[in-house]
A and B are shown apart, each in its own frame.
Chain A
Amino acid sequence: MLLETLKFEWRFYHARHLLGLGAFIFFLLGFAMTGRVGSGAGSLLNAPYALIPIYQLLSLAAVVIIAVFAGIAVLRDHHHDCEALVFTTGLGKNRFLAARWLGLVLVSFAVFACASLGIMLRTLLPHGLHGNFAANDPWVHGRILLTIALPNILLIASLLFAVALRTRNAMATCAAGMALYVLYLLCSALVGSPLMAGEAAVAGPDARFWAALLDPLGTSAFFEDTAAWTRLQRDSVFPAWDGLIRGNRLLWSAVTALILIYVWRTDPFRQTASVAFGLKRRTVAAVQVSAGDGLVAETLIAETLIAETLIAETLIADRAAAPAYRPLQPQFGCSQWFRAWLSCLCLDALYLVKSFPFWVLMGLWAALLLGEIAPIGRPYPFTAPSLPLTAVVLERFQFDLLPGFGVFLILFYSGDLARREDAHPMHPLSATTATPHTVFFFAKLGLLCLIPLALITVAVMVGVGFQISQGWFRFDWALYGSLYLYGGVPLCLAAVPCLVLQTLSPNKYVGLLAAAAFLLFFSTGLCAMVGLEHPMWRFAAVPGYQYSDMSGYGYFPEAFWHYTLFWSALAGAMLLPASALNRREKSVPLLMRLRALPARLKRRERWAVAGCLLLFVLVGGRIGYLTNVVGAYRTADETELIRVAYEQSYRHFTDLKQPTLQAVKTEMAIYPRQGRYSLQAEYRLTNPHGEALSALLLTVNPNLVVRDLALKGARFETDAAVPGAYAAQLTLPFQPGETRVLTFSIEHRTTAFTRIGGRHQVAPNGTLIHGAAHFPTLGYLPDRELQDPMRRASHGLGDPTPPRTAAHAEKDPGGGDFVQFETLVSTSDDQTAVAPGRLIGHGVEAGRAWFHYRGEAPMRDGVPYLSATYAAQNRNIAGYEVTLLYHPDHSFNTDSIWEGIEAALRYGTRRFGPLPQPRLRFAEVPNTTGISGYAGPGLVLMGEFSGFNHDLSNQTGMNQVFRRTVHETAHQWWGHLVAPAAVDEGAMLLVETLAKYTELMLLEQTAGIEQTHRFVDHEVERYFRARVREPEMEHPLSRVRGDQAYVMYAKGAAAMNALRHRIGEPAVNRALRQLVGDHAHPGPAATAEDLIRMLVAEAPDQADFIREWLTEVVFYRSVVERVTLTPLPDGQVALEVICDLSKVRHADDGRDHETAFSQPVTWSVTLGEGDAAQTMTKRFPMQNGTNRLGWILPGAPTRITFDPKRELLDEQRHSTKGALAKPFGG
């Protein structure tokens, strides 16, 4: 019998086209997500590690479809007015609930499983993905479906089923789905799920543990359990059923069971929806009245009956006293239409705000916002919280959360609103008034537009509340107000297709799924997968939506208004016909309605549609012009082809020597209001080689056009297929030692329509034009080559240009590219233009401010130009003239910045030697540049949210702004005074790792050794979390690649800390001073080997130790098995520690191998507490395997520490520390 009922359920969903539509959507989702989410870089894209997050994310998407199905499963009797029929049959409660619930699970799972087909099909079509696929293994998919997807579906289905049963309300069901979504997001953010783009692990281990356990979809548990997985594991291992994954699954399975038990025990079976939902109503009597052709159960309130009796008795008296009825002549026209629209809107809004689910959803939204915003004020380890500026608060949700949540809500409410007539059939009443139906239709649209308004208002309230809670009362109301425009309007536009599709669809749920599919495809970038990647395909989205306190929304408003007009015109063209289709005869099939559409549209409506379409085309044409022509837009394929053509045409230049740059002289005119700059430049070139040069290649950003190129004896040629490359055969060979002058000009306009030239652009206030991104470079640039091996193979390209190693550097040191620099830079008269060098003149002419800078010593090429309204502070520190330039409203942390500058300059000058240029500028740049800190020659840039706006009031012993300032200042030695050789491997050891060392030393001076060690522990944890995500081979510090930040920064800090302890700070500093002495310009460029040699020279007995840290990838795993304290008769205490230790080497095969070792390791014990604490250290010989250590102590220790100075790179240090830190009483 149950089987028959299930069959009926299946047929029911099938007949409503929901199965097919849902299956198609999940097929597409599976197809689209494959290779885009979940996979670690370089891993197999369909390995279990990559597939599980896809299925987990699909579970999140399944919330939508299960909410729809749950609504049908529970509410269909109510919606179709057949409750009385169903509940008066012999159907029992158990069978009813079982059939509906099982039917729900069955169809949900069937639809979900279609994603597997999409995933498997995607793996057969690898075009466009950067990665590899293994052969499809259906068993892997089946296992994931059963162990990951099914429990999620059971949970979601049970929860939504229960809510639908208890409330009989579709929006309440939606709210429950939203609650799951919020919980998932919060947990993912806490764990630092890779699925949350750009999130780092922000919480401590305890919070991560709970987040992993409480994540309803299991994503956080999965990522927490596999955080340390190597690439090999990611490619081949299926996660074991243990750890947090098991805990999470068991917990939520139990929750599912509890929900079901609750449903079975409490469901008020056989009560109609009105009764079930109105449990709080004062139901005092139930009678049956005859109505029409049948019996309908109806609850009447006794009070009503009493009232009606009284009415009957006093009818005559009442009528005598009643106001006289007088007909009123109606008035129609625009005024009445507006009033009617307003009245409908108010009525719908009243209905909305009186509904309980609406407030639940608003509550969820507020909770989600709080979860997102609260971390701003939380002092996580070694990351200072931000000041709760309005821009910082908004940044947490403005660009992703608000659009996502808003669309989700609009989607659901569009279904509810468009079909409200079905639930409360007022249509015959309103349709027989003389108010045009368009008014009703647009009132619904108006209500949908109120939803973003409500969301934004709640967001503003939460934001302001948070600021107040942080003691911050400087609210930027204008910025909050801008949310309504820039955040609200796109959401209002998104409401249009939702409403239109609801109008066209045969029922609410088909409309819901169709609208979801539309928005998912056209608003999330999925359309790019089928080649629709132009921004004009992204419905209601505007490119370049970002905000900076310095430059506001930049030029975004121009793009915003264009796109808003563009999409509004399309929306208008859709709305009017949809409004006509929606009129009165809803029961008529869509095709017939469409056929009759031309006749239904009135003349003025037809003109309006035509006008909208014309506007759409005209504005679209202008956007296309601004994007494609002015903005030089290119598709990904076009960009790829340019790379291929560049390599094919110019790779032979790698073998051709090129002249070097000696001096750069520029005239840079920046026009912030117009968003453009004009550059006239002069390069003085020389031939340092021993042979004449016959060919020259200039490479520049392909989106920039270099004009007026002129060089004696050269005629530059360009190839339309390779924009940005200018090659010249020199008719007059460039003789050795000869100097020639190359001149050129560049005109560039920054536009919000595309982001050419990277993120460094002209801005209304906060221009940053980086020479490296905007100026031509001499010679062939291997980094322009296509890197993905599969894509290279598809274009018939062989191996890419091999990286330059130390061997290359010995043959051709190059590097440095020190030049004499001079520039005349002008800007609007209310701004200051900044460039490196000494300011030798400035003034204002014809409304333009000009500044003349000249370098006082040769500096590395690639200087930044800035222009903004700055406040300035000047100081003389250790003989340097230092200027601090900052946004006038961002003076919060200038004292800390000064402290950092002073400490670094004094330490560096004393320990490493003086800088050649006596001038240094620090300038704030907008966060939209993407810069947190960048050290140019004599000009250090700091991002507005990366120092200037940190909240330093709640620091735990470490001033982050100070630390960051020290780091950037240190680059004046490490990167500028000592320039690394032009190698692709190992250069960053001399730049970032040595800056990190300087940072550590000054941290120790100011915060103490304990704090420094905690910081090193933090860096070690970062290293181990990041190394497992290495897409290629992990390199040692001596060969670190430019993209291996976790090596150069995190491991670099640990290495320099270990060296500083093992060979001593003075010895390290002597080596570094030696490095400066030997390799500062005009000396030869330095290599990693130069540094290692000098360090070894300072401590020859530690040569192995130094080389292990710097030239190998080696780490240790220590596990303390047991600690025993035995009191001795003489009052002493015998300490015994059993510790497993292993040494691991990362080999060339890409795997970690345990390796033999035997060496002394330091242990320390602390006796006593507080000021009376006494620390003893001792070195014990240790080797691979289990080590048993014994130590007679004068008393019971309060702390035992393995390797207290962090001389070993210990993967397990975090867990070991916890075990040993606990008090060890007698």
Chain B
Amino acid sequence: MLRITNLSKTYPNGVKALDGINLTLSHGMFGLLGPNGAGKSSLMRTIAGLQKPDSGQILFNGVDVLQQPQALHRRLGYLPQEFGVYPRLSAFRLLDHFAILKGITHKKQRREQVAAVLAQTNLEEHRHRAVSAFSGGMHRRFGIALALLGDPALIIADEPTAGLDPGERNRFHQLLARLAQDRVVMLSTHIVEDVRDLCTQAVVLVGGRIRLAGRPADLVGGLAGRVWRKAVSHDQEPAMCHRFHVISTRLHEGRLIVHVVAEKQPGPGFRQVAPDLEDAYFHVLRQCETTAAERTCHVA
């Protein structure tokens, strides 16, 4: 069980990365959604102990990990957004090394577990190849293999599918889903589909604050019967944005599809659609933008 209370972090350059985050996580896959710069990586780095918050508390199984980071690190599997490895070192050698760092000192057991995680991540064939020569997908799988070493109760995966092709991404999701059966897997992404497909719980983080939290199905509940869709030309888009509460625009077969939130039909040509997680996500983003703009106007 991971409980986060009032977690805040402001960087020396004044950027407020986290602003009073409160979260409680139990077994299952947990999705962190948010645009770039929303604070996802900051939150994950802070939980992982790579940086200290300015205030707040993080309890892992009842232990304050800010005071005793080792308590979390003993059960943590961390897959950062980017990581490097020394060149010319094989996957097996590196995994063996990290297994030791994670406290697996018994040689035979360690070898077995390294073999197992290599197999789980489908890297068995490449165990003697230098990791630095791996492709992007293999590199990410290697990261997961690292995260699996030991006995992780919490796996933090920061943008794990970035840069992966659809096939790799799919395989990756399956792996994560399997792992989440008996542990907490925290997944950050800006791909809404990933959260929808994988996560039992999700939050939308914007500007360092949690704007929306809950089960993915529940997150869209607030928009039921309020989302309208219309195909428009590119020329019409500015006027649409001006007149309606447009939450998203996307291209479909070369045409612009506009989603609008409205209590009743906003106009001719609009068709009501069932809201999905993406609508909820963009709706929150739009609300945040509007709030920020209003605050700016107010200050001005």
A residues at B contact (CB < 8 Å): 289-293, 298, 300-301, 304-305, 307-308, 311-312, 315, 318-319, 322-332, 335-336, 339-340, 343-344, 346-347, 350-351, 354, 420, 423-426, 428-436, 584-585, 588-589, 592
Please give, as numbers and ranges, the residues of chain A lying within 8 Å of B137 by CB-CB distance. Answer: 308
Please give, as numbers and ranges, the residues of chain A lying within 8 Å of B124 by CB-CB distance. Answer: 318, 322
Q: A323-B112, A327-B151 are in contact. Are A426 and B85 (CB under 8 A)?
A: yes
- Whether the Cβ atoms of A325 and B116 lie closer than 8 Å is yes
- Whether the Cβ atoms of B116 and A424 lie closer than 8 Å is no
Closest to B152 in A: A327
- Whether the Cβ atoms of B50 and A584 lie closer than 8 Å is yes
* Interface residue? B100 (CB, 8 A): yes
- Whether the Cβ atoms of A431 and B50 lie closer than 8 Å is yes
Contact of B51 among A291, A322, A350, A585 (CB under 8 A): A585
Residues facing A in B73-115 (CB within 8 A) are 73-74, 76, 78, 80, 82-89, 93-94, 96-98, 100-106, 109-110, 112-113, 115
Pick 19 A–B contacts, CB within 8 A, sort by A.
Answer: A292-B163, A304-B138, A307-B126, A319-B122, A322-B116, A332-B103, A336-B100, A340-B100, A350-B88, A351-B89, A420-B86, A426-B84, A428-B83, A429-B78, A429-B80, A432-B78, A433-B73, A433-B103, A434-B102
- Whether the Cβ atoms of A325 and B86 lie closer than 8 Å is no
Interface centre among B50, B143, B159 (most CB of A within 10 A): B50
- Whether the Cβ atoms of B133 and A351 lie closer than 8 Å is no
- Whether the Cβ atoms of A291 and B163 lie closer than 8 Å is yes
Please give, as numbers and ranges, the residues of chain B lying within 8 Å of A592 by CB-CB distance. Answer: 12
Docked complex Cα distance between A744 and B146 (Å): 80
Please give, as numbers and ranges, the residues of chain A lying within 8 Å of B119 by CB-CB distance. Answer: 318-319, 322-323, 325
- Whether the Cβ atoms of B133 and A328 lie closer than 8 Å is no
- Whether the Cβ atoms of A301 and B116 lie closer than 8 Å is no
B residues at A contact (CB < 8 Å): 12, 36, 45, 48-52, 70, 73-74, 76, 78, 80, 82-89, 93-94, 96-98, 100-106, 109-110, 112-113, 115-117, 119-120, 122, 124-126, 132-138, 143, 146, 148, 150-152, 159, 162-163, 167, 171
- Whether the Cβ atoms of A326 and B116 lie closer than 8 Å is yes
Docked complex Cα distance between A346 and B150 (Å): 21
Q: Quote the shortest CB–CB distance from B11 to chain A (angstroms).
A: 9
Q: How many A-B residue pairs have CB under 8 A?
A: 166
Q: Quote the shortest CB–CB distance from B77 to chain A (angstroms).
A: 8
Contact of B125 among A290, A311, A340, A346 (CB under 8 A): A311
Interface centre among B88, B102, B119 (most CB of A within 10 A): B102
Q: A292-B163, A434-B70 are in contact. Are A339 and B100 (CB under 8 A)?
A: yes
- Whether the Cβ atoms of A323 and B115 lie closer than 8 Å is yes
Closest to A332 in B: B103
Please give, as numbers and ranges, the residues of chain B lying within 8 Å of A291 by CB-CB distance. Answer: 136, 162-163
Contact of B135 among A305, A432, A588 (CB under 8 A): A305
Please give, as numbers and ranges, the residues of chain A lying within 8 Å of B73 by CB-CB distance. Answer: 432-434
Contact of B86 among A318, A347, A589 (CB under 8 A): A347
- Whether the Cβ atoms of B80 and A428 lie closer than 8 Å is yes
Docked complex Cα distance between A692 and B48 (Å): 96
Docked complex Cα distance between A311 and B165 (Å): 14
Please give, as numbers and ranges, the residues of chain A lying within 8 Å of B115 by CB-CB distance. Answer: 323
Docked complex Cα distance between A538 and B105 (Å): 42
Docked complex Cα distance between A906 and B134 (Å): 85
Q: Quote the shortest CB–CB distance from B141 to chain A (angstroms).
A: 9
Docked complex Cα distance between A307 and B167 (Å): 14
Docked complex Cα distance between A298 and B83 (Å): 16
Q: Quote the shortest CB–CB distance from A227 to chain B (angstroms).
A: 50
Docked complex Cα distance between A702 and B179 (Å): 81
Q: A347-B97, A351-B89 are in contact. Are A331 and B103 (CB under 8 A)?
A: yes
Q: Quote the shortest CB–CB distance from B91 to chain A (angstroms).
A: 13
Contact of B116 among A311, A323, A420, A588 (CB under 8 A): A323
Please give, as numbers and ranges, the residues of chain B lying within 8 Å of A332 by CB-CB distance. Answer: 70, 74, 103
Q: A323-B112, A428-B80 are in contact. Are A298 and B136 (CB under 8 A)?
A: yes
- Whether the Cβ atoms of A429 and B51 lie closer than 8 Å is no
Docked complex Cα distance between A428 and B44 (Å): 11
Closest 9 CB pairs of A and B: A330-B103, A322-B119, A327-B151, A424-B84, A434-B73, A428-B80, A432-B78, A433-B101, A291-B163
Contact of A432 among B48, B109, B117 (CB under 8 A): B48
Contact of A290 among B84, B159, B163 (CB under 8 A): B163
Contact of A315 among B87, B96, B152, B171 (CB under 8 A): B171
Q: A304-B133, A325-B148 are in contact. Are A433 and B98 (CB under 8 A)?
A: yes
Docked complex Cα distance between A584 and B50 (Å): 6
Q: A308-B138, A589-B12 are in contact. Are A425 and B82 (CB under 8 A)?
A: yes
Contact of A588 among B12, B49, B76, B120 (CB under 8 A): B12
Docked complex Cα distance between A425 and B86 (Å): 9
Closest to B71 in A: A434
Please give, as numbers and ranges, the residues of chain B lying within 8 Å of A335 by CB-CB distance. Answer: 105
Please give, as numbers and ranges, the residues of chain B lying within 8 Å of A585 by CB-CB distance. Answer: 50-52
- Whether the Cβ atoms of B74 and A315 lie closer than 8 Å is no
- Whether the Cβ atoms of B85 and A424 lie closer than 8 Å is yes
Closest to B103 in A: A330
Closest to A318 in B: B122
Q: Quote the shortest CB–CB distance from B262 to chain A (angstroms).
A: 33
Please give, as numbers and ranges, the residues of chain A lying within 8 Å of B78 by CB-CB distance. Answer: 428-429, 432
Please give, as numbers and ranges, the residues of chain B lying within 8 Å of A300 by CB-CB distance. Answer: 135
Docked complex Cα distance between A592 and B51 (Å): 13
Docked complex Cα distance between A290 and B138 (Å): 15
Please give, as numbers and ranges, the residues of chain B lying within 8 Å of A431 by CB-CB distance. Answer: 49-50
- Given contacts A331-B106, A433-B103, A435-B101, 20 further A-B pairs with CB under 8 A are A289-B136, A304-B138, A307-B126, A322-B120, A325-B117, A325-B148, A327-B150, A330-B74, A335-B105, A336-B100, A336-B103, A336-B105, A346-B97, A347-B97, A351-B86, A426-B85, A430-B101, A433-B101, A434-B102, A584-B49
Contact of B103 among A290, A354, A434 (CB under 8 A): A434
Q: Quote the shortest CB–CB distance from A349 to chain B (angstroms).
A: 11
Q: Quote the shortest CB–CB distance from B221 to chain A (angstroms).
A: 32
- Whether the Cβ atoms of B150 and A330 lie closer than 8 Å is yes
Please give, as numbers and ranges, the residues of chain A lying within 8 Å of B120 by CB-CB distance. Answer: 319, 322, 325
Docked complex Cα distance between A584 and B45 (Å): 10
Docked complex Cα distance between A308 and B12 (Å): 43
Interface centre among A322, A324, A433 (most CB of B within 10 A): A433
Q: Quote the shortest CB–CB distance from A963 to chain B (angstroms).
A: 58
Q: Quote the shortest CB–CB distance from A594 to chain B (angstroms).
A: 15
Please give, as numbers and ranges, the residues of chain B lying within 8 Å of A324 by CB-CB distance. Answer: 116
Docked complex Cα distance between A328 and B138 (Å): 24
- Whether the Cβ atoms of A429 and B89 lie closer than 8 Å is no
Please give, as numbers and ranges, the residues of chain B lying within 8 Å of A307 by CB-CB distance. Answer: 125-126
Q: A312-B167, A330-B103 are in contact. Are A432 and B76 (CB under 8 A)?
A: yes
Docked complex Cα distance between A350 and B51 (Å): 30
Please give, as numbers and ranges, the residues of chain A lying within 8 Å of B82 by CB-CB distance. Answer: 425
- Whether the Cβ atoms of B83 and A308 lie closer than 8 Å is no
Docked complex Cα distance between A298 and B148 (Å): 27
Docked complex Cα distance between A691 and B116 (Å): 107
Docked complex Cα distance between A324 and B36 (Å): 37
Please give, as numbers and ranges, the residues of chain A lying within 8 Å of B135 by CB-CB distance. Answer: 300, 304-305, 308
Contact of A343 among B97, B116, B133, B151 (CB under 8 A): B97
- Whether the Cβ atoms of A328 and B104 lie closer than 8 Å is yes
Please give, as numbers and ranges, the residues of chain A lying within 8 Å of B101 by CB-CB distance. Answer: 340, 343-344, 430, 433-435
Docked complex Cα distance between A428 and B101 (Å): 13
Closest to A301 in B: B133
Please give, as numbers and ranges, the residues of chain A lying within 8 Å of B143 by CB-CB distance. Answer: 429
Please give, as numbers and ranges, the residues of chain A lying within 8 Å of B102 by CB-CB distance. Answer: 330, 433-435
Please give, as numbers and ranges, the residues of chain A lying within 8 Å of B86 by CB-CB distance. Answer: 347, 351, 420, 424, 426
- Whether the Cβ atoms of A328 and B150 lie closer than 8 Å is yes
Please give, as numbers and ranges, the residues of chain B lying within 8 Å of A339 by CB-CB distance. Answer: 100, 105
Q: Quote the shortest CB–CB distance from B85 to chain A (angstroms).
A: 6
Please give, as numbers and ranges, the residues of chain B lying within 8 Å of A301 by CB-CB distance. Answer: 133
Docked complex Cα distance between A301 and B130 (Å): 13
Docked complex Cα distance between A319 and B123 (Å): 11
